[in-house]
């Protein structure tokens, strides 16, 4: 793995981490420093282990071996997965479920966030009948209400139309302006270049390359990254 010496004000350190599922190694990262002080994109082929990495960083799953250390405190992470189920109730009821874990969240807080993500006119609509983009905004609203300092997003604009994609990307920029750090996965390289400041490239469960966005796209250092970029850019 190419790993340049860099200075981060906040970072996550991964040491000797292995994650397995049904006897198959999903992630194998001997050592990595991941910045948590800028918008960071995790990219790589399907099945590379990107979603597993996000779950690991959120604490949703534990590694089979190894450790993850956060060089900042407190750690308040919020994970938004690509497919988040909705209960058969209104959008307001679904977003209000965050009060189950934090009773200090008020109805006024919820109403303000619903407006922030552009769902105020759909608050009483059945959540399971919302469009994919509207459901994603609802999930982002729940994340905002948790007052995280680290947001982890799995394919946040997958299958969304251009207009909704733009709206979701603006919410991600709002996170950054509010001092909330973001790590997201994406197959949309144009989006990665629009939003991210730093790249983590994963292939076959291994962190093959990482660094600032510009140099990664203009001069990738590993053959795996070169192949991936060539293939994805042709697909675009």
Q: How far apart are CA 106 and CA 120, in angstroms?
A: 16
**pTM confidence score:** 0.91
Q: Can you read off the two tokens belonging to residue 175?
A: 């996170």
Q: Which band of pLDDT confidence, cut at 50, 70 and 90, is reported for residue 234?
A: low
Are 117 and 138 in contact, with CB atoms under 8 Å apart? Answer: yes
What integer is the mean pLDDT of 180-191? Answer: 94
pLDDT of residue 1: 47
Please state whether beta strands 198-203 and 206-212 pair in parallel, antiparallel, or not at all (unpaired): antiparallel
Q: Which CATH superfamily is domain 11-235 in?
A: P-loop containing nucleotide triphosphate hydrolases (3.40.50.300)
What integer is the mean pLDDT of 198-223? Answer: 95
pLDDT of residue 235: 55
Paired residues of 202 in beta bridges: 207
pLDDT of residue 101: 84
Which residue do the tokens 């604490």 mark?
Answer: 59
Residues in the chain: 236
Are 221 and 3 in contact, with CB atoms under 8 Å apart? Answer: no
Q: How far apart are CA 27 and CA 47, in angstroms?
A: 10
What integer is the mean pLDDT of 86-98? Answer: 91
Angle subtended at Cα 207 by Cα 205 and Cα 208, rounded to the nearest 5 degrees? 110
Q: How far apart are CA 172 and CA 184, in angstroms?
A: 9
What integer is the mean pLDDT of 71-77? Answer: 91
What integer is the mean pLDDT of 82-111? Answer: 89
Torsion angles phi and psi, residue 168, rounded to 5: -65, -40
Are 131 and 147 in contact, with CB atoms under 8 Å apart? Answer: no
Q: Which band of pLDDT confidence, cut at 50, 70 and 90, is reported for residue 50?
A: very high
Q: Can you read off the two tokens belonging to residue 113?
A: 């966030």
Write the DSSP symbol of residue 97: G
Q: Which band of pLDDT confidence, cut at 50, 70 and 90, is reported for residue 3?
A: very low
- Provide CB contacts within 8 A for 97, sequence distance 6+: 87, 142
What integer is the mean pLDDT of 79-98? Answer: 88
Q: Which band of pLDDT confidence, cut at 50, 70 and 90, is reported for residue 231?
A: confident
In the predicted structure, residue 150 carries a pLDDT above the cut 90: yes
């Amino acid at each position: 793995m190419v790993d340049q010496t860099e200075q981060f004000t906040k970072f996550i350190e991964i040491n000797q981490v292995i994650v397995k599922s049904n006897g198959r190694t999903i992630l194998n990262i001997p050592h990595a420093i991941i910045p948590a002080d800028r918008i960071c994109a995790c990219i790589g082929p399907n099945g590379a282990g990107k979603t597993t990495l996000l779950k690991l960083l959120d604490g949703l799953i534990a590694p089979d071996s190894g450790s993850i250390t956060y060089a900042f405190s407190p750690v308040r992470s919020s994970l938004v997965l690509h497919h988040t189920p909705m209960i058969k109730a209104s959008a307001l009821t679904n977003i209000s479920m965050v009060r189950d874990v934090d009773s200090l969240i008020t109805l006024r807080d919820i109403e303000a966030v619903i407006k922030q993500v552009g769902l105020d006119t759909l608050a009483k609509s059945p959540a399971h009948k919302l469009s994919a983009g509207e459901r994603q905004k609802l999930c982002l609203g729940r994340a905002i209400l948790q007052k995280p300092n680290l947001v982890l997003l799995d394919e946040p604009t997958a299958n969304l139309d251009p207009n909704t994609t733009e709206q979701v990307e603006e919410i991600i920029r709002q996170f950054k302006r509010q001092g909330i750090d973001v790590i997201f996965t994406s197959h949309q390289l144009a989006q990665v270049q629009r939003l991210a400041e730093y790249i983590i490239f994963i292939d076959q469960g291994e962190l093959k390359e990482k660094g600032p966005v510009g140099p990664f796209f203009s001069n990738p250092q590993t053959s795996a990254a070169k192949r991936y970029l060539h293939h994805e850019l042709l697909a675009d």
